[in-house]
Amino acid sequence: MVKMSIYDFSIKEINGSPIDLNELRGHPFLIVNTASNCGLAPQFTDLENLYKKYHDSGFTIIGFPSNDFKQELDQEDEIVEYCKVHYGVTFPMGEIIHVNGSQTSPLFKFLKDQSGGMIKWNFTKFLVDGDGKLVKRFAPITKPEKIEPYLKDLLDVNTAKS
């Protein structure tokens, strides 16, 4: 049996455009399940700050809205607008997905299998290195700035490889 890689998954932006994870090969990225009406939604601002600070170094964030915890808006265009207006989000947002249950997105099933199972709440964060390996899963309450030291290490490794 061939072991899957994160680069094997087909995902879509919230507007329906495909996101080719292969384009992220060689660069670290963060995947986050999000919800606009969650008490942790102010993390969008901190995530955006992290994205802006390191995007020129090849880092990206992909947020995936999920209503599994009944805290997401219903319409994708509302989600995009809400995140831009209230939190200044410019990082890519994936389509609305399920993170738990029988309809779990294949990408999130893979991430959960790699990191210890069920997602307990919105804003669970998965840091992936440039080789496509999951480096660390961060709890929903972990503030994005706490991810920065791990990210700096990954970016230093990428600089050393160049």
Sheet holding 60-65, edge to edge: 60-65, 29-34, 125-128, 134-138
**Contact status, residue 40 vs residue 140, Cβ threshold 8 Å:** yes
User: Which residues have a catalytic role annotated?
Assistant: 38
Residue-wise pLDDT for 62-72, tens only, equals 999 999 999 99
Q: Which domains does the chain have, with CATH numbers?
A: 43-96+122-128 (3.40.30.10)
26: left (phi over 0), alpha (psi -120 to 50) or beta: left
Cβ contacts of residue 90 below 8 Å, gap of 6+? 48, 51, 52, 84
> What pTM did the predictor assign?
0.94
The answer, yes or no, to whether residue 160 has pLDDT greater than 70, is: no
pLDDT above 90 covers a percentage of the chain that reads 89
- Average pLDDT value over all residues in the chain: 93
Report the range out of 18-22, 53-57, 158-162 with the highest average pLDDT.
Answer: 53-57
